[in-house]
């Protein structure tokens, strides 16, 4: 029962989700909405699970005086402070909002801004023309980058009566070879999603249950 | 047929229903073929071949393995695929007695991962290696999670990083930090916008569908191999349909009225 119960439950819910997509039947749509409601309930419970895991993880670090345990103290203190602030003055006023606007938001923006430097360092490595593929990538990269700036409109060549600027070539690279490759990947992804879903519904794939492949 | 709701069947979705039925039939055919012992050829996937080497490297260096399942919750198929690969990675980590660290953004994913890793360690006879504190929750915040994973990489210096699942803008932040620590990195995602970043910054990348093939490839379980083969054949059928459609469009033949599909305004062939 410990093995078959979740598989049978997965089959029933999976079939319901599959059928509801193809039928406008009100009874089935109502069951689908029930599932969505349950999802919200489960999400609420998982937040509590997450908080519990976070507290236990950092508590152990503090208790055992592991390296960097001071940061764990700050994490737990921050957690308690934010909960207390939200209970005291609500989420849209007072210290909770202030901390969100002046601490959390700037920290998130900082992490996001780091992306610019990481793009530069990753591009530097990727664009080293060590072989044919890397050279092709470098060429496409240079064309697309130059084609995106005003200079790209001025650089180009004439072929007969037509003028091909780097901006035009850049658009062609983005709209044809790039889109073709992306669609190839997406077709594979969608088939993979459907195949995985079918395997789970049929109970062939049960690794996610912790029962081995 | 357009837009007619019969009460039991949404006729607008007939093509999707037919495609699902055909795809399902192909999958079941190959699963049955695999069950009957028919040998099935699966092409080599470099990223998955490297899993043993990556885990072995961590063992030799005496450093942990870091596994990130991406940002999506458990109901997303990419996360399910990631958890399936995690089971195989955890089995190898258990065999080699190597520590596996897994920061999570979603508490359900964390709970499932704990169960999967515990089971994998038990299967290889090393339940004592399992520590639930190594698979922990960090935060729901996207860049908060990125900061937590980067911090773990800088402090713990894992020898091997796995980024397997659905990622967003934080992908390059994670992969570049991992690269800076000198870890061997295996990434896998179905997010087409993040694939270039992983390809640039990681040693191996599972591209799109390879992510879904991961656990099958590593486990070599016959029934699952059958499903994978069925997936390949379905792709072949789809390619044939696309090719025929392209040729018909180039020849100026519009078969949409014959199929009962309304011709879309404004071209599109």
Residues A140, B41: Cα–Cα separation, whole Å: 35
pLDDT > 70 fraction of chain B, expressed in percent and rounded:
94
The pairing of strands B204-207 and B184-189 is parallel
Task: Measure the CA angle with vertex B259, ends B253 and B265; round to 5°.
Answer: 65
In the structure encoding, which two tokens stand for residue B116, read together?
Answer: 């999967």
Q: Where in chain B is the domain with CATH 3.40.50?
A: 46-219
The answer as to whether A192 is a domain residue is no
CA distances, B208 to each of A2, A173, B71, B166, B190 (Å): 33, 21, 16, 10, 4
A133, part of any domain: no
Q: For chains A and B, count residue pairs whose Cβ atoms are closer than 8 Å.
A: 191
Count the domains in chain A: 1
- Sheet with B204-207: list strands edge to edge: B135-137, B100-104, B65-70, B160-166, B184-189, B204-207
- Please give the Cα distance from A153 to A151 (Å, whole number): 5
Taking an 8 Å cut-off on Cβ atoms, the answer to whether B208 and A186 are in contact is: yes
The pLDDT, as a whole number, for residue B254 is 86
Quick one: B173 exposed, middle or buried, by C-beta within 10 A (0-12, 13-18, 19+)?
A: buried
Domain that includes residue A75, residue range: 1-89
Q: What is the CA radius of gyration of chain B?
A: 22
Task: Check if the interface score ipTM surpasses 0.90.
Answer: no
Q: B80 at the A interface (CB within 8 A)?
A: yes
Residue B61: band (very low, low, confident or very high) from pLDDT cuts 50, 70, 90: very high
> How far does A89 lie from chain B, in Å, by closest CA?
22
Does residue A203 belong to any structural domain of this protein? no
Asked if the C-beta of A192 comes within 8 angstroms of chain B's C-beta atoms, the answer is: yes
For residue A177, give the 3-state DSSP assignment: helix
pLDDT band (50, 70, 90) for residue B268: very low
pLDDT digits (tens, 9 = 90+) for B10-41: 888 888 899 889 998 998 899 888 888 888 88
Interchain pair B138, A54: CB under 8 A? yes
pLDDT lower than 50: segments of chain A: 213
Is the pLDDT at B267 greater than 50? The verdict is no
User: Backbone dihedral region of B95: left (phi > 0), alpha (psi from -120 to 50 degrees) or beta?
Assistant: alpha
Burial B38-53 (b: 16+ CB within 10 A, else e): eeeeeeebebbebbee
Q: Among all chains, which residue has been given the structure tokens 């959390």? A: A104
Within a domain: A186 = no
Of B3 and B188, more confident: B188
A34-78 residue pLDDT tens: 999 998 898 888 888 889 999 999 999 999 999 889 999 999 999
What pLDDT score does A2 carry?
67
Task: Name residue B65's beta-bridge partners.
Answer: B100, B160
Q: What angle do CA B27, B28, B31 make, to 5 degrees?
A: 90
Sequence-separated (6 or more) residues with CB below 8 Å from residue A172 = none
pLDDT at A56: 94
Window A:76-115, CB contacts with B under 8 Å: 104, 107-108, 111-112, 114-115
- Give the helix, strand, coil percentages of chain B, each rounded to 5: 60, 10, 30
Q: What are phi and psi of A159, to 5 degrees?
A: -130, 100
pLDDT band at B94 (very low <50, low <70, confident <90, very high): very high
Indicate the residue of A46, A186, A192 with minimum beta-carbon distance to B212.
A192
Two tokens, residue B230? 């069925």
Residue B90: C-alpha distances to residues A96, B72, B130, B165, B212 (Å): 40, 20, 10, 16, 17
DSSP 8-state class, residue B183: -
Task: Determine how β-strand A156-159 pairs with β-strand B100-104.
Answer: unpaired
Q: What is the pLDDT of residue A213?
A: 44
Nearest CB among B9, B84, B141 relative to A208 is that of B84
Question: What is residue B263's predicted lDDT score, i.e. its pLDDT?
Answer: 56
User: Would an 8 Å CB–CB cutoff place A3 in contact with chain B?
Assistant: no
Looking at residues B215-220, what average pLDDT do you find?
83
- pLDDT at position A211: 56
Q: Look at A188 and B119 and tell me if their CB atoms are within 8 Å.
A: no
Buried-state track B203-219, b at ≥16 Cβ within 10 A, e below 16: bbbbbbbbbbbbbbbbb
Show residues of chain A in contact with B190, CB under 8 Å: 189, 192-193
pLDDT at B75: 87
Q: Is the pLDDT of residue B132 over 60?
A: yes
pLDDT at B85 over 70: yes
Look at residue A58 and tell me if it is in a domain.
yes
d(CA A1, CA A24): 34
Q: How confident is the model at residue B215 (pLDDT cuts 50, 70, 90)?
A: confident
For B107-128, how does the pLDDT look when each residue is reduced to its tens digit (9 = 90+)?
Answer: 999 999 999 999 999 999 999 9
Binary contact (A185, B208; C-beta < 8 A) = yes
* A38 occurs within a structural domain: yes
pLDDT score of A152 = 85
Q: Which of residues 140-199 of B touch A (CB under 8 A)?
A: 140-144, 146-147, 155, 169-170, 172-173, 175-176, 190, 192, 195, 197, 199
- Spell A51-75 as b/e; 16+ CB within 10 A means b: eebbbebbeebeeeeeeeeeebeeb
Confidence (pLDDT) at A123: 87
Query: Which of A56, A118, A195 is facing B173, going by the closest CB pair?
Result: A118
pLDDT tens-place string over residues B175-208: 999 999 999 999 999 999 999 999 989 999 999 9
CA distance A80 to A57: 15
Tell whether A117 is covered by a domain: no
- Check whether B269 has a pLDDT greater than 70: no
Write the pLDDT tens digit of every residue in B140-182.
999 999 999 999 999 999 999 999 999 999 999 999 999 999 9
B46-219 placed in CATH 2.60.120 = no
Measure Cα distances from A126 to A141, B9, B79, B198 in Å: 10, 50, 28, 11
């Amino acid at each position: 029962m410990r093995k078959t119960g979740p598989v049978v439950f997965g089959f029933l819910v999976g079939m319901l989700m599959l059928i509801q997509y193809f039928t406008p039947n009100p009874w089935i749509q109502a069951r689908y909405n029930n599932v969505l409601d349950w999802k919200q309930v489960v999400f609420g419970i998982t937040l509590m699970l997450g908080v519990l895991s976070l507290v236990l993880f950092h508590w152990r670090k503090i208790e055992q005086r592991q390296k960097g345990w001071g940061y764990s103290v700050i994490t737990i203190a921050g957690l308690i402070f934010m909960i207390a602030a939200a209970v005291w003055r609500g989420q849209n006023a007072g210290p909770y909002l202030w901390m969100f606007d002046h601490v959390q938001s700037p920290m998130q923006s900082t992490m996001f801004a780091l992306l610019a430097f990481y793009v530069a360092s990753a591009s530097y490595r990727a664009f080293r023309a060590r072989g044919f593929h890397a050279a092709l990538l470098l060429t496409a990269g240079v064309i697309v980058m130059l084609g995106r700036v005003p200079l790209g409109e001025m650089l180009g060549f004439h072929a007969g009566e037509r003028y091909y600027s780097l901006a035009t070539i850049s658009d062609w690279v983005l709209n044809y070879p790039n889109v073709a490759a992306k669609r190839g990947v997406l077709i594979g992804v969608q088939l993979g999603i459907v195949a995985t879903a079918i395997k789970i519904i049929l109970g062939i794939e049960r690794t996610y249950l912790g029962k081995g492949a | 047929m357009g837009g007619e709701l019969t009460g039991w069947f949404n006729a607008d979705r007939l093509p999707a229903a037919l495609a699902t039925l055909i795809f399902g039939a192909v999958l079941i055919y190959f699963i049955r073929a695999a069950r009957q012992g028919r040998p099935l050829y699966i092409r080599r996937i470099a990223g998955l071949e490297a899993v043993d080497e990556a885990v072995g490297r961590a063992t030799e260096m005496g450093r942990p393995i870091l596994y990130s399942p991406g940002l999506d919750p458990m109901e997303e198929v990419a996360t399910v695929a990631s958890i399936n690969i995690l089971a195989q990675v955890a089995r190898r980590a258990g065999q080699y007695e190597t520590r596996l660290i897994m920061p999570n953004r979603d508490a359900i994913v964390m709970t499932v991962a704990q169960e999967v890793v515990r089971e994998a360690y038990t299967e290889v006879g090393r339940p004592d290696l399992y520590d639930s504190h190594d698979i922990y929750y960090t935060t729901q915040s996207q860049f908060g999670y990125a900061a937590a994973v980067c911090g773990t990489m800088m402090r713990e210096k894992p020898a091997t990083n796995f980024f397997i699942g659905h990622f967003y803008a934080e992908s390059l932040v994670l992969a570049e930090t991992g690269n800076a620590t000198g870890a061997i990195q295996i990434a896998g995602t179905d997010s087409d916008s993040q694939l270039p970043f992983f390809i640039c910054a990681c040693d191996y990348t599972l591209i799109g569908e390879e992510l879904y093939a991961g656990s099958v490839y590593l486990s070599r379980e016959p029934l699952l191999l059958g499903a994978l083969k069925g997936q390949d054949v379905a792709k072949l059928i789809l390619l044939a349909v696309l090719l025929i459609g392209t040729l018909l469009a180039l020849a100026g033949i519009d078969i949409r009225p014959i199929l009962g599909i309304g011709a879309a305004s404004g071209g599109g062939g």
